[in-house]
Amino acid sequence: MHDSIAAIRTSVRYIRSSPSRLQKFRSCVEKEKIDYKGGLVLDVQTRWNSTYLMLDVALKFEKAFTRYEDEDDKFLSYFNEKENGKKRIGPPPTSTDWQAASVFVKFLSTFYEITLKFSGTLHVTSNNFYHEICEVQAILSDLAASNDDFLSSMATSMKGKYDKWAI
């Protein structure tokens, strides 16, 4: 996992852990004039599709998170506390973290959409989804050749697993 995802996850967990924090966050959303009616989503760390959903929603609230950091005195100290004997990932999300999250969302969105197609069908057959399987291969190949080192590394790792599965 990337530290950027961990920083955003910790922020979401902090805000969702208390009704008063959630209310203060909603106030920040209103002040920033963010027109999104959904709420924050906390992921299951071992499920990439839930991480995609968490990041996708969190990105819509990026400005509200920044404002919240200024309005809640305890927010910054939360990142320095220990959890299960380990220091949390800190500091809170930076602009670089939000940019990385945007890359993750872009990367994972295609896989999320394809997964929805597969899981929405009772009888998955290769002739029905050949195009999607080829699309995954093409996307992984393109991303593996990317100039972004992190994205390229992630895609190369996934492509290795895909190639092993496809054989």
DSSP for 122-159?
SS--HHHHHHHHHHHHHHHHHHHT-S-HHHHHHHHHHH
66 alpha carbon, distance to own chain's centre: 17
- pLDDT tens track for 95-128: 999 999 998 898 888 888 888 877 776 666 777 6
Tokens encoding 152: 């390229």
Residue located via tokens 């393109």: 142
CA atoms of 56 and 15, how far apart (whole Å): 17
77-100 pLDDT, tens digit per residue, is 888 776 666 665 667 899 999 999
pLDDT band at residue 40 using 50, 70 and 90 as cut-offs = very high
The rounded distance, in Å, linking the Cα atoms of 31 and 64 is 8
Measure Cα distances from 157 to 47, 61, 142, 144, 150 in Å: 17, 30, 13, 9, 11
Listed in sequence order, the residues at least 6 apart from 8 whose beta carbon sits closer than 8 Å to its beta carbon are: 54, 55, 58, 93, 97, 98, 101
Tokens 């697993």 belong to residue? 161
Query: Considering the chain, what is the average pLDDT of its residues?
Result: 86
Q: Does the structure show a pLDDT above 90 at 67?
A: yes
Cα dist. 73→24, 67, 76, 77, 85 in Å? Answer: 12, 12, 7, 8, 23
Segments making up each domain of the chain, as ranges: 3-97, 121-166
Dig out the tokens for 141 from the structure: 């190949």
The pLDDT of residue 82: 65
Measured distance CA(111)–CA(119) in Å, rounded: 12
